[in-house]
Amino acid sequence: MTSNRQNFTYGLRATMEAITSGKAIDKVLIRKGLKGELFQELFSMIREREVPFQHVPSKKLERITKKNHQGVIAFLSPVEFYRVEEVLPGIFERGQMPFLMVLDGLTDVRNFGAILRTAECAGVNGVVIPSRSFARISEDTAKTSAGALYRIPLCRTPDLGESVDYIKKSGIQAVGVTEKTDHLYYDLDFNRPTALVMGAEDKGISPALLNKLDHRAKIPLAGDIESLNVSVAAGVMIYEVVRQRTPSSA
């Protein structure tokens, strides 16, 4: 059965139908220890189509719905997801200089929405996000983004590292925004194809991903607080790219 008002579907067969019909699924919650032939069929489908999932206690499912969920609840996404391999060729074909954002492990939906809003205003071509361990796309995301959620391509990937490798092989420099460098952001050349990589609010960019990047860029801080809010830092970086790419009127 499905609840459109709350934007989720529950039950084994209903979830399977949502997947096979091509609905964009944000995440599937699965009761820990769930077994059975029908569940195995569903789980194979989830793994094959790289649908994000999470094993959770029964109590978490019961808090979402008291109806017969059969141990499975799937949250439906309000937007369609793309693959970066689908989006990037079109950017080149349109004769545009690629400008991508890669977001690693953000958990705050409002930060995510604020970044999307700034990215859309600045003409970012696409935002790459991981399938797991990321802020869930919700009404708060849409509201904070001021509608940008529906206007900018969201590229979801099961392996952020592989997607960054693909981006680099396509001739795009990957620049990580981090305090773990002495290089200041305004010393880098952004008048070339660029993907800005932003990390999680608390941990920053994961070490494995950081090691894959072409450059690291730091925003200088003069106060006592050691870091900026990630959405503010993203805004600074996004508009440095815009500044460098905007012809001088002088």
CA proximity to 28, closest of 14, 37, 243, 38: 14
Q: Are 72 and 120 members of one domain?
A: no
Give the CATH number, domain containing residue 107: 3.40.1280.10
Instruction: Please name the helix (run of DSSP H) or strand (run of DSSP E) that holds residue 54, with its range, or none.
Output: strand 53-56
For the cut 90, the answer to whether the pLDDT of residue 131 exceeds it is no
Percent of the chain with pLDDT over 90: 71
Q: Are 55 and 92 members of one domain?
A: no
Q: Are 65 and 113 members of one domain?
A: no
Res 133: pLDDT? 77
Q: Where among 25, 51, 76 does a domain terminate? A: 76
Distances, alpha carbon 237 to alpha carbons 29, 34, 118, 149, 160, in Å? 35, 45, 10, 20, 20
Res 35: pLDDT? 93
Q: How many domains does the chain have?
A: 2
Q: Are 71 and 88 members of one domain?
A: no
Q: How confident is the model at residue 139 (pLDDT cuts 50, 70, 90)?
A: confident
Q: Where among 45, 76, 107 does a domain terminate? A: 76
Q: Where among 76, 95, 122 does a domain terminate? A: 76
For residue 179, being part of any structural domain is answered with yes
More confident residue, 61 or 23: 61
Q: Are 133 and 157 members of one domain?
A: yes
174-192: pLDDT as tens digits: 999 999 899 999 999 999 9
Q: Alpha-carbon Rg of the chain, whole angstroms?
A: 20
Q: Are 107 and 57 members of one domain?
A: no
Q: Are 68 and 108 members of one domain?
A: no
For residue 250, being part of any structural domain is answered with no
For the cut 60, the answer to whether the pLDDT of residue 219 exceeds it is yes
Q: State the average pLDDT for the chain.
A: 91
Q: How confident is the model at residue 249 (pLDDT cuts 50, 70, 90)?
A: low
> Which 8-state DSSP code applies to residue 231?
H
192-218: pLDDT as tens digits: 999 999 998 888 999 999 999 999 999
Distances, alpha carbon 157 to alpha carbons 37, 48, 50, 167, in Å? 28, 13, 9, 12
For the cut 50, the answer to whether the pLDDT of residue 3 exceeds it is no
The average pLDDT across 38-55 equals 91
Res 78: pLDDT? 81
For residue 64, being part of any structural domain is answered with yes
Res 6: pLDDT? 52
Residue 178 and residue 217 in contact, taking contact as beta carbons nearer than 8 Å: yes
User: Which stretches does DSSP call E strand in 149-229?
Assistant: 154-157, 173-177, 194-198, 215-217
Give the CATH number, domain containing residue 23: 3.30.1330.30
Q: Are 116 and 226 members of one domain?
A: yes
4-44: pLDDT as tens digits: 345 889 999 999 999 988 788 888 999 999 999 999 999 99
Residue 7's domain spans which residues? 2-76
Instruction: Look up the pTM and report it.
Output: 0.81
Q: Are 115 and 227 members of one domain?
A: yes
